[in-house]
Amino acid sequence: MSDQKLFTPARAGSVELKNRIVMAPLTRNRARAEDDAPFELHAEYYGQRAGAGLIITEASQISPQGKGYAWTPGIHSETQIEGWKKVTDAVHAKGGKIVIQLWHVGRISHPVLQPGGVDPVAPSAIAANSKTFDGTRFVETPMPRALEAHEIPGIVEDYRKAAENAKRAGFDGVEVHAANGYLIDQFLRDGSNKREDAYGGPLENRSRFLKEVMDAVVSVWGCDRVGIRLSPFSSANDIADSDPQETFSHVIRLLNGYGLAYLHLVEGQTGGPRDIPEGGDLAALYALFDGARMGNNGYDRALAVDAVGSDTLDLVAFGRPFISNPDLVDRLEKDAPLNALDPETLYGGNEKGYTDYPTLAESAVAAQ
Protein backbone atom coordinates (compact mmCIF):
# COMPACT_ATOMS: atom_id res chain seq x y z
CA MET A 1 0.00 0.00 0.00
CA SER A 2 1.37 3.41 -0.96
CA ASP A 3 1.90 5.88 1.85
CA GLN A 4 1.47 8.82 -0.51
CA LYS A 5 -2.31 9.18 -0.41
CA LEU A 6 -2.11 10.82 3.02
CA PHE A 7 -0.21 13.68 1.40
CA THR A 8 -2.48 14.17 -1.62
CA PRO A 9 -5.14 16.87 -2.00
CA ALA A 10 -8.68 16.30 -0.76
CA ARG A 11 -11.98 18.07 -0.32
CA ALA A 12 -14.06 18.66 2.79
CA GLY A 13 -17.33 19.85 1.34
CA SER A 14 -16.36 22.86 -0.77
CA VAL A 15 -13.08 23.43 1.10
CA GLU A 16 -10.08 22.38 -0.98
CA LEU A 17 -7.29 20.84 1.11
CA LYS A 18 -3.68 20.47 -0.02
CA ASN A 19 -3.27 17.26 1.97
CA ARG A 20 -5.30 14.96 4.23
CA ILE A 21 -3.59 15.87 7.50
CA VAL A 22 -5.65 17.98 9.89
CA MET A 23 -4.52 19.92 12.92
CA ALA A 24 -6.96 18.89 15.63
CA PRO A 25 -8.55 21.43 18.00
CA LEU A 26 -6.16 21.92 20.92
CA THR A 27 -7.00 23.99 23.99
CA ARG A 28 -3.87 25.92 25.02
CA ASN A 29 -5.31 28.55 27.43
CA ARG A 30 -3.40 31.53 26.09
CA ALA A 31 -6.15 34.01 25.23
CA ARG A 32 -5.92 37.46 26.84
CA ALA A 33 -7.34 37.25 30.34
CA GLU A 34 -9.19 40.57 30.12
CA ASP A 35 -11.23 39.83 26.99
CA ASP A 36 -10.73 36.15 26.00
CA ALA A 37 -9.34 37.33 22.67
CA PRO A 38 -6.58 35.77 20.56
CA PHE A 39 -3.78 38.13 19.52
CA GLU A 40 -0.49 38.21 17.60
CA LEU A 41 0.95 35.20 19.45
CA HIS A 42 -1.93 33.06 18.18
CA ALA A 43 -1.43 34.31 14.64
CA GLU A 44 2.20 33.19 14.80
CA TYR A 45 1.27 29.81 16.32
CA TYR A 46 -1.39 28.92 13.77
CA GLY A 47 0.57 30.42 10.89
CA GLN A 48 3.51 28.16 11.73
CA ARG A 49 1.20 25.15 11.29
CA ALA A 50 -0.37 26.20 7.99
CA GLY A 51 1.20 23.20 6.26
CA ALA A 52 -1.76 21.17 7.50
CA GLY A 53 -4.45 20.46 4.94
CA LEU A 54 -6.88 21.93 7.43
CA ILE A 55 -6.49 23.61 10.83
CA ILE A 56 -9.31 23.34 13.34
CA THR A 57 -8.83 26.00 16.00
CA GLU A 58 -8.97 25.43 19.70
CA ALA A 59 -12.54 25.35 21.00
CA SER A 60 -13.94 28.88 21.20
CA GLN A 61 -16.94 29.86 23.27
CA ILE A 62 -20.00 31.17 21.46
CA SER A 63 -20.99 33.38 24.41
CA PRO A 64 -19.79 34.34 27.89
CA GLN A 65 -22.14 31.66 29.25
CA GLY A 66 -20.40 29.06 27.10
CA LYS A 67 -17.04 29.51 28.84
CA GLY A 68 -15.70 26.68 30.97
CA TYR A 69 -11.96 27.27 31.40
CA ALA A 70 -9.79 30.28 32.12
CA TRP A 71 -7.95 31.94 29.21
CA THR A 72 -9.87 30.20 26.44
CA PRO A 73 -10.84 32.32 23.43
CA GLY A 74 -14.31 33.36 22.36
CA ILE A 75 -15.98 34.36 19.11
CA HIS A 76 -18.71 36.64 20.47
CA SER A 77 -17.12 40.10 20.71
CA GLU A 78 -15.64 42.59 18.27
CA THR A 79 -12.22 42.31 19.92
CA GLN A 80 -12.28 38.54 19.55
CA ILE A 81 -13.28 38.82 15.89
CA GLU A 82 -10.37 41.20 15.30
CA GLY A 83 -7.98 38.81 17.04
CA TRP A 84 -9.15 35.84 15.00
CA LYS A 85 -8.82 37.91 11.81
CA LYS A 86 -5.09 38.17 12.53
CA VAL A 87 -5.01 34.37 12.79
CA THR A 88 -6.90 33.64 9.57
CA ASP A 89 -4.81 36.19 7.67
CA ALA A 90 -1.61 34.51 8.88
CA VAL A 91 -2.81 31.05 7.88
CA HIS A 92 -4.11 32.15 4.49
CA ALA A 93 -0.88 34.03 3.76
CA LYS A 94 0.89 30.66 3.95
CA GLY A 95 -1.66 28.85 1.79
CA GLY A 96 -3.50 27.14 4.64
CA LYS A 97 -7.18 26.58 5.41
CA ILE A 98 -8.69 27.10 8.86
CA VAL A 99 -12.06 26.58 10.54
CA ILE A 100 -13.10 27.57 14.05
CA GLN A 101 -14.59 25.14 16.54
CA LEU A 102 -17.78 26.53 18.12
CA TRP A 103 -18.14 25.65 21.80
CA HIS A 104 -20.58 25.82 24.68
CA VAL A 105 -19.37 23.85 27.69
CA GLY A 106 -22.73 23.52 29.47
CA ARG A 107 -22.18 22.08 32.95
CA ILE A 108 -18.37 21.86 32.61
CA SER A 109 -17.82 25.28 34.11
CA HIS A 110 -17.86 27.11 37.44
CA PRO A 111 -19.62 30.24 38.76
CA VAL A 112 -16.29 32.10 38.88
CA LEU A 113 -16.13 31.74 35.07
CA GLN A 114 -19.76 32.68 34.47
CA PRO A 115 -21.14 36.21 34.00
CA GLY A 116 -22.46 37.45 37.33
CA GLY A 117 -21.16 34.38 39.15
CA VAL A 118 -24.25 32.32 38.30
CA ASP A 119 -24.39 28.55 38.09
CA PRO A 120 -23.48 26.86 34.78
CA VAL A 121 -26.37 25.52 32.71
CA ALA A 122 -27.12 22.03 31.44
CA PRO A 123 -30.02 19.98 30.05
CA SER A 124 -30.68 18.65 33.56
CA ALA A 125 -29.52 19.52 37.07
CA ILE A 126 -26.97 16.69 37.20
CA ALA A 127 -23.43 17.48 38.31
CA ALA A 128 -20.47 16.07 36.43
CA ASN A 129 -17.70 14.36 38.33
CA SER A 130 -15.18 16.58 36.62
CA LYS A 131 -12.91 19.56 37.14
CA THR A 132 -12.14 22.81 35.41
CA PHE A 133 -9.43 25.44 35.68
CA ASP A 134 -10.54 28.78 37.10
CA GLY A 135 -7.32 30.70 36.41
CA THR A 136 -5.78 29.88 39.77
CA ARG A 137 -6.40 26.19 40.41
CA PHE A 138 -8.42 23.17 39.36
CA VAL A 139 -11.90 23.20 40.90
CA GLU A 140 -14.77 20.73 40.99
CA THR A 141 -17.58 21.46 38.55
CA PRO A 142 -20.69 22.24 40.62
CA MET A 143 -24.34 21.30 40.27
CA PRO A 144 -25.60 23.03 37.12
CA ARG A 145 -28.94 24.70 36.63
CA ALA A 146 -31.32 22.95 34.25
CA LEU A 147 -32.15 25.12 31.25
CA GLU A 148 -35.73 26.27 30.92
CA ALA A 149 -37.23 25.43 27.54
CA HIS A 150 -37.68 29.12 26.71
CA GLU A 151 -33.92 29.71 27.15
CA ILE A 152 -32.83 27.19 24.54
CA PRO A 153 -33.66 29.30 21.45
CA GLY A 154 -31.36 32.00 22.82
CA ILE A 155 -28.43 29.59 22.94
CA VAL A 156 -29.21 28.45 19.40
CA GLU A 157 -29.13 32.10 18.38
CA ASP A 158 -25.73 32.44 20.07
CA TYR A 159 -24.47 29.66 17.78
CA ARG A 160 -25.85 31.48 14.76
CA LYS A 161 -24.22 34.76 15.79
CA ALA A 162 -20.92 32.98 16.46
CA ALA A 163 -21.09 31.46 12.98
CA GLU A 164 -21.62 34.94 11.52
CA ASN A 165 -18.72 36.28 13.56
CA ALA A 166 -16.52 33.46 12.25
CA LYS A 167 -17.36 34.49 8.71
CA ARG A 168 -16.44 38.10 9.51
CA ALA A 169 -13.14 36.88 10.99
CA GLY A 170 -12.21 35.26 7.67
CA PHE A 171 -12.49 31.57 8.49
CA ASP A 172 -13.00 28.97 5.75
CA GLY A 173 -15.81 27.32 7.72
CA VAL A 174 -16.79 26.16 11.19
CA GLU A 175 -16.81 22.98 13.21
CA VAL A 176 -19.62 22.43 15.72
CA HIS A 177 -18.21 20.92 18.93
CA ALA A 178 -20.70 18.20 19.89
CA ALA A 179 -18.19 15.96 21.69
CA ASN A 180 -16.35 15.39 24.96
CA GLY A 181 -19.21 15.90 27.38
CA TYR A 182 -19.97 19.55 26.57
CA LEU A 183 -23.44 21.05 26.11
CA ILE A 184 -24.57 19.40 22.87
CA ASP A 185 -23.19 16.05 24.02
CA GLN A 186 -25.01 16.54 27.34
CA PHE A 187 -28.30 16.84 25.47
CA LEU A 188 -27.59 13.75 23.35
CA ARG A 189 -26.77 11.35 26.20
CA ASP A 190 -29.40 9.78 28.42
CA GLY A 191 -27.00 9.86 31.38
CA SER A 192 -26.99 13.67 31.46
CA ASN A 193 -30.36 14.45 29.87
CA LYS A 194 -33.34 13.55 32.05
CA ARG A 195 -35.68 16.16 30.61
CA GLU A 196 -39.36 15.39 30.15
CA ASP A 197 -40.09 18.02 27.51
CA ALA A 198 -39.40 18.18 23.76
CA TYR A 199 -35.63 18.07 24.40
CA GLY A 200 -35.52 14.88 26.46
CA GLY A 201 -36.57 11.25 26.44
CA PRO A 202 -36.50 9.50 23.05
CA LEU A 203 -33.57 9.97 20.68
CA GLU A 204 -35.52 12.29 18.42
CA ASN A 205 -36.04 14.67 21.33
CA ARG A 206 -32.51 14.39 22.72
CA SER A 207 -31.22 15.26 19.23
CA ARG A 208 -33.50 18.29 18.88
CA PHE A 209 -31.02 20.80 20.31
CA LEU A 210 -28.28 19.52 17.98
CA LYS A 211 -30.62 19.81 14.99
CA GLU A 212 -31.57 23.37 15.90
CA VAL A 213 -27.91 24.32 16.29
CA MET A 214 -27.01 22.76 12.94
CA ASP A 215 -29.92 24.52 11.23
CA ALA A 216 -28.70 27.83 12.65
CA VAL A 217 -25.05 27.38 11.69
CA VAL A 218 -25.85 26.03 8.23
CA SER A 219 -28.12 29.03 7.61
CA VAL A 220 -24.98 31.19 7.82
CA TRP A 221 -22.37 29.04 6.10
CA GLY A 222 -24.21 26.56 3.92
CA CYS A 223 -23.81 22.85 4.57
CA ASP A 224 -20.56 22.41 2.66
CA ARG A 225 -18.49 24.59 5.00
CA VAL A 226 -19.74 23.12 8.28
CA GLY A 227 -18.20 20.12 10.02
CA ILE A 228 -19.03 18.44 13.31
CA ARG A 229 -17.09 16.64 16.03
CA LEU A 230 -18.57 13.72 17.97
CA SER A 231 -17.05 11.35 20.56
CA PRO A 232 -19.45 8.38 20.60
CA PHE A 233 -17.55 6.12 22.99
CA SER A 234 -15.75 8.66 25.15
CA SER A 235 -16.63 9.24 28.79
CA ALA A 236 -14.83 12.60 28.88
CA ASN A 237 -16.22 14.97 31.50
CA ASP A 238 -18.28 12.20 33.09
CA ILE A 239 -20.59 11.79 30.09
CA ALA A 240 -22.48 8.51 29.74
CA ASP A 241 -25.14 6.87 27.60
CA SER A 242 -26.91 3.54 27.96
CA ASP A 243 -26.47 2.66 24.27
CA PRO A 244 -23.95 4.89 22.48
CA GLN A 245 -24.05 2.83 19.28
CA GLU A 246 -27.79 3.38 18.93
CA THR A 247 -27.60 7.01 20.02
CA PHE A 248 -24.86 7.98 17.60
CA SER A 249 -26.24 5.92 14.75
CA HIS A 250 -29.36 8.07 15.05
CA VAL A 251 -27.29 11.24 15.34
CA ILE A 252 -25.14 10.50 12.29
CA ARG A 253 -28.17 9.59 10.18
CA LEU A 254 -29.61 12.96 11.14
CA LEU A 255 -26.38 14.76 10.29
CA ASN A 256 -25.98 12.93 6.99
CA GLY A 257 -29.09 14.64 5.72
CA TYR A 258 -27.32 17.99 5.76
CA GLY A 259 -24.51 17.23 3.31
CA LEU A 260 -21.88 18.52 5.74
CA ALA A 261 -18.24 19.13 4.88
CA TYR A 262 -17.02 16.39 7.22
CA LEU A 263 -17.71 14.14 10.19
CA HIS A 264 -14.95 14.26 12.83
CA LEU A 265 -14.99 11.32 15.27
CA VAL A 266 -12.93 10.86 18.41
CA GLU A 267 -12.09 7.16 18.26
CA GLY A 268 -12.22 5.66 21.76
CA GLN A 269 -11.50 7.73 24.85
CA THR A 270 -10.67 11.40 24.32
CA GLY A 271 -6.90 11.67 24.66
CA GLY A 272 -6.78 8.09 25.91
CA PRO A 273 -7.09 4.48 24.72
CA ARG A 274 -8.48 3.83 21.27
CA ASP A 275 -10.42 0.79 22.50
CA ILE A 276 -14.09 0.62 21.55
CA PRO A 277 -16.47 -0.90 24.12
CA GLU A 278 -18.43 -4.07 23.52
CA GLY A 279 -21.35 -3.31 21.23
CA GLY A 280 -19.56 -0.37 19.64
CA ASP A 281 -18.71 -0.29 15.95
CA LEU A 282 -16.86 2.71 14.54
CA ALA A 283 -16.90 1.36 11.00
CA ALA A 284 -20.68 1.12 11.10
CA LEU A 285 -20.93 4.73 12.28
CA TYR A 286 -18.61 6.02 9.55
CA ALA A 287 -20.61 4.04 6.98
CA LEU A 288 -23.72 6.07 7.82
CA PHE A 289 -22.06 9.28 6.62
CA ASP A 290 -21.63 10.19 2.96
CA GLY A 291 -19.18 13.08 3.30
CA ALA A 292 -15.53 13.28 4.29
CA ARG A 293 -14.69 11.12 7.31
CA MET A 294 -12.08 12.43 9.75
CA GLY A 295 -10.57 10.22 12.45
CA ASN A 296 -8.91 11.47 15.61
CA ASN A 297 -7.15 10.06 18.68
CA GLY A 298 -3.66 8.68 19.03
CA TYR A 299 -2.80 8.56 15.33
CA ASP A 300 0.81 8.17 14.30
CA ARG A 301 2.20 8.06 10.78
CA ALA A 302 1.66 4.32 10.27
CA LEU A 303 -1.94 4.38 11.51
CA ALA A 304 -2.74 7.43 9.38
CA VAL A 305 -1.14 6.00 6.24
CA ASP A 306 -3.12 2.78 6.67
CA ALA A 307 -6.44 4.48 7.43
CA VAL A 308 -6.29 6.79 4.41
CA GLY A 309 -4.65 4.28 2.10
CA SER A 310 -7.37 1.71 2.80
CA ASP A 311 -10.13 4.35 2.35
CA THR A 312 -11.26 3.85 5.95
CA LEU A 313 -10.81 7.59 6.42
CA ASP A 314 -10.50 10.59 4.13
CA LEU A 315 -8.73 12.81 6.68
CA VAL A 316 -6.71 12.21 9.84
CA ALA A 317 -6.51 14.73 12.68
CA PHE A 318 -3.29 14.94 14.71
CA GLY A 319 -3.31 16.69 18.06
CA ARG A 320 -0.27 16.73 20.30
CA PRO A 321 2.22 16.03 17.49
CA PHE A 322 1.20 19.39 15.98
CA ILE A 323 2.00 21.16 19.24
CA SER A 324 5.68 20.24 19.22
CA ASN A 325 6.08 20.01 15.44
CA PRO A 326 4.92 23.11 13.56
CA ASP A 327 6.10 21.42 10.35
CA LEU A 328 4.40 18.11 11.14
CA VAL A 329 3.25 17.46 7.57
CA ASP A 330 6.79 17.83 6.25
CA ARG A 331 8.14 15.53 8.97
CA LEU A 332 5.49 12.89 8.31
CA GLU A 333 6.06 13.01 4.56
CA LYS A 334 9.81 12.54 5.06
CA ASP A 335 9.24 10.03 7.88
CA ALA A 336 11.54 12.24 9.95
CA PRO A 337 11.87 12.22 13.75
CA LEU A 338 9.44 14.35 15.77
CA ASN A 339 10.27 16.90 18.44
CA ALA A 340 9.50 15.77 21.98
CA LEU A 341 6.53 17.47 23.66
CA ASP A 342 7.05 19.55 26.80
CA PRO A 343 4.01 18.71 28.98
CA GLU A 344 4.76 21.56 31.38
CA THR A 345 3.88 24.19 28.77
CA LEU A 346 0.65 22.72 27.37
CA TYR A 347 -1.75 25.05 29.15
CA GLY A 348 -1.29 28.74 29.81
CA GLY A 349 1.88 30.77 29.55
CA ASN A 350 3.52 32.58 26.66
CA GLU A 351 5.58 31.66 23.62
CA LYS A 352 7.52 28.98 25.51
CA GLY A 353 6.19 25.60 24.40
CA TYR A 354 3.88 27.41 21.97
CA THR A 355 5.74 29.09 19.13
CA ASP A 356 9.36 28.11 19.92
CA TYR A 357 9.43 24.48 18.73
CA PRO A 358 11.92 24.19 15.84
CA THR A 359 11.23 22.96 12.34
CA LEU A 360 13.44 20.35 10.68
CA ALA A 361 15.26 23.07 8.78
CA GLU A 362 15.86 25.10 11.92
CA SER A 363 17.15 22.04 13.78
CA ALA A 364 19.53 21.28 10.92
CA VAL A 365 20.96 24.81 11.03
CA ALA A 366 21.33 24.64 14.79
CA ALA A 367 23.21 21.33 14.49
CA GLN A 368 25.81 22.79 12.12
Distance (Å, whole) CA 367 – CA 41: 27
DSSP one-letter string for 139-192: EE--PPEEPPGGGHHHHHHHHHHHHHHHHHTT-S-EEEE--TTSHHHHHH-TTT
| pLDDT of 29 above 80 | yes
The secondary structure element, H or E, covering residue 285 is helix 282-287
Report the pLDDT value the prediction gives residue 367, as an integer from 0 to 100. 73
pLDDT digits (tens, 9 = 90+) for 267-298: 999 999 999 999 999 999 999 999 999 999 99
The secondary structure element, H or E, covering residue 92 is helix 78-93
Q: What is the pLDDT confidence band of residue 366, given thresholds at 50, 70 and 90?
A: confident
Bridge partner list, 53? none
Report the pLDDT value the prediction gives residue 2, as an integer from 0 to 100. 59
159 carries an active-site annotation:
no
pLDDT digits (tens, 9 = 90+) for 217-251: 999 999 999 999 999 999 999 999 999 999 999 99
Average pLDDT, the chain: 97
Pair type for strands 98-103 and 174-177: parallel
Q: What percent of the chain has pLDDT over 90?
A: 97
| pLDDT of 141 above 60 | yes
User: Catalytic: which of 45, 46, 159, 182?
Assistant: 182
Report the pLDDT value the prediction gives residue 1, as an integer from 0 to 100. 45
Segment 346-354 shows an average pLDDT of: 97
What pTM was computed for the model?
0.97
Structural domains of the chain sorted by starting position, each given as residue range(s) with its CATH number in brackets: 5-367 (3.20.20.70)
Q: What is the pLDDT confidence band of residue 363, given thresholds at 50, 70 and 90?
A: confident
| pLDDT of 78 above 90 | yes
